[in-house]
């Protein structure tokens, strides 16, 4: 289907969120699933009204100028377009018989004291294959927490545990939005374990103008790829990526060539309370019980969003990548004689992309083997 209409909005959102997650610690490893978060926010927007819906839409860049919907449109005018596009995109991702393992799952947990509108439940099931599950936050919040964690662990093949940690949920919770995405793929050309060796990973940082080497490494079947953006030297400066990434990595701009590749073998697991990050990005009213408007979910304005929790896991090794969401400094390598080289011995950005739709499913920054 070529570049999917959501691709530009998804890419820009991915990089905006990456930048926000980098603000607190410029040298930390980062890994998250912008696609999973994006789909969950779109589902949440389905039940939002007024300023609450506008803020979700603007943070998610559905209504930013030049992206999916012009800002001059009313939110409800473009909602159906957004949900239809997501439904089609999810259908493309969940095709049977693919040479990789991919599962996308989103779920809303609402307190059983609230009556949720049948129209909202029907639409979330129709567009997102998602369910709203009633739980008892008021008197059995620990039981609800265990239930949420069990569902996520099942959806991610056991890779993500305790997405909702103890003490994160109490009896004031009304809605918890949870998203999970699992991917496992094998490299189209695998690395040889015998070529794995321990090498130095450089961590000193200096500022340089934006200048990247870009490598696309396809997975088996070539429907999925890992895109690695390696600065020419150690740098924290990613200015301009939002405008350039789609253009730089478009298949028409990339060319096949034999190349010697060396990159770290690593495992990263990160957990984020996205309510704080999303608030800083402008999605404020959803978390404020005096201002929120989720009347499209429950028919009243008393409902507010308690938490948006996100946990992601990635492991990159000689065979491929397993992702659902202290690495060592051993490096993996494959090479050709008399070929160019791609030597990732300092911090880099990486993205796992669905190539037919150019959708970024996972995004990360590897800074340290820890």
Confidence check: pLDDT of 201 > 60: no
| 258 close to 314: Cβ distance less than 8 angstroms | no
Digit-coded pLDDT (tens) for 280-301: 999 999 988 889 898 998 877 7
Residue 45 maps to a domain: yes
Please give the residue that has the higher pLDDT: either 23 or 330: 23
More confident residue, 274 or 336: 274
Do 102 and 211 belong to one domain? no
Answer for the pair 218, 352: CB distance below 8 angstroms, yes or no.
Answer: no
Query: Domain check: are 162 and 113 in the same one?
Result: yes
Least confident of 148-152, 218-222, 225-229, 299-303: 299-303
Residue 1 covered by a domain: no
What would the mean pLDDT of 170-192 be, rounded to a whole number? Answer: 74
Percentage of the chain with pLDDT > 70?
70
Cβ neighbours of residue 88 under 8 Å, at least 6 residues apart? none
2 within domain boundaries? no
Q: Which two tokens stand for residue 10?
A: 């998804």
Q: Are residues 342 and 214 in the same domain?
A: yes
Say what the pLDDT of residue 230 is. Answer: 75
Q: What is the pLDDT of residue 111?
A: 85
146 and 258 belong to one structural domain = no
**Residue found under tokens 């060319």:** 255
Flag whether pLDDT at 317 surpasses 70.
no
Distances (CA, A) of 15 to 12, 72, 201: 5, 24, 24
Q: Which residue has the higher pLDDT, 313 or 197?
A: 313
User: Are residues 193 and 324 located together in one domain of the fold?
Assistant: yes
pLDDT at res. 74: 45
Domain boundaries, position 212: 186-266+315-366
Predicted local confidence at residue 178, as pLDDT: 78
Nearest to 283 by CA among 79, 63, 73: 63
Q: Are residues 192 and 123 in the same domain?
A: no
Number of domains in the chain: 2
Lowest mean pLDDT among 37-41, 104-108, 260-264: 260-264
Instruction: Indicate if 202 and 339 belong to the same structural domain.
Output: yes
Of 162-176, 329-343, 353-367, least confident by mean pLDDT is: 329-343
Distances in Å between the Cα of 22 and the Cα atoms of 16, 17, 70, 205, 349 are 10, 9, 29, 15, 12
Residue 217 and residue 96 share a domain? no
Same domain, 117 and 158: yes
* pLDDT value at 98 more than 90: no
209 has a pLDDT exceeding 50:
no
pLDDT tens track for 221-235: 888 888 888 766 544
Q: Are residues 110 and 241 in the same domain?
A: no
């Amino acid at each position: 289907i070529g570049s999917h209409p959501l691709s530009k909005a998804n890419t820009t959102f991915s990089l905006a969120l990456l930048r926000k997650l980098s603000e607190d610690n410029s040298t930390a490893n980062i890994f998250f699933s912008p696609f999973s978060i994006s789909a969950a926010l779109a589902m949440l927007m389905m039940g939002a009204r007024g300023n609450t819906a506008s803020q979700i839409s603007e943070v998610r860049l559905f209504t930013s100028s030049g992206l999916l919907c012009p800002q001059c449109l009313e939110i409800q005018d473009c909602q159906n377009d957004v949900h239809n596009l997501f439904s089609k995109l999810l259908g493309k991702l969940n095709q049977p018989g693919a040479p990789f393992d991919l599962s996308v799952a989103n779920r809303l947990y609402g307190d059983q004291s609230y009556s949720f509108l049948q129209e909202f439940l029907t639409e979330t099931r129709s567009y997102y294959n998602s369910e709203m599950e009633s739980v008892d936050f008021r008197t059995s919040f620990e039981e609800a927490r265990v239930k949420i964690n069990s569902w996520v662990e099942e959806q991610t093949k056991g890779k993500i545990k305790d997405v909702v940690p103890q003490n994160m949920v109490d009896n004031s919770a009304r809605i918890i939005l949870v998203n999970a995405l699992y991917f496992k793929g094998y490299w189209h050309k695998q690395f040889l374990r015998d070529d794995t060796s321990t090498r130095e990973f450089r961590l000193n940082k200096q500022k340089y103008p934006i200048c990247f080497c870009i490598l696309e490494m396809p997975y088996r079947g070539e429907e999925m790829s890992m895109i690695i953006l390696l600065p020419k030297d150690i740098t924290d400066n990613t200015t301009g990526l939002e405008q350039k990434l789609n253009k730089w990595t478009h298949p028409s701009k990339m060319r096949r060539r034999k190349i010697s590749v060396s990159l770290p073998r690593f495992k990263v697991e990160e957990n984020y309370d996205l309510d704080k990050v999303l608030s800083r990005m402008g999605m404020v009213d959803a978390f404020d019980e005096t201002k929120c408007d989720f009347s499209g979910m429950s028919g009243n304005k008393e409902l507010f969003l308690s938490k948006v929790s996100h946990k992601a896991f990635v492991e990159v090794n000689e065979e491929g990548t397993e992702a659902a969401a202290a690495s060592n400094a051993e490096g993996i390598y494959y090479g050709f004689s008399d070929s160019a080289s791609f030597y990732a011995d300092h911090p880099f950005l990486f993205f796992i992309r669905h190539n037919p739709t150019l959708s970024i499913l996972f995004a990360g920054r590897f800074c340290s083997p820890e």
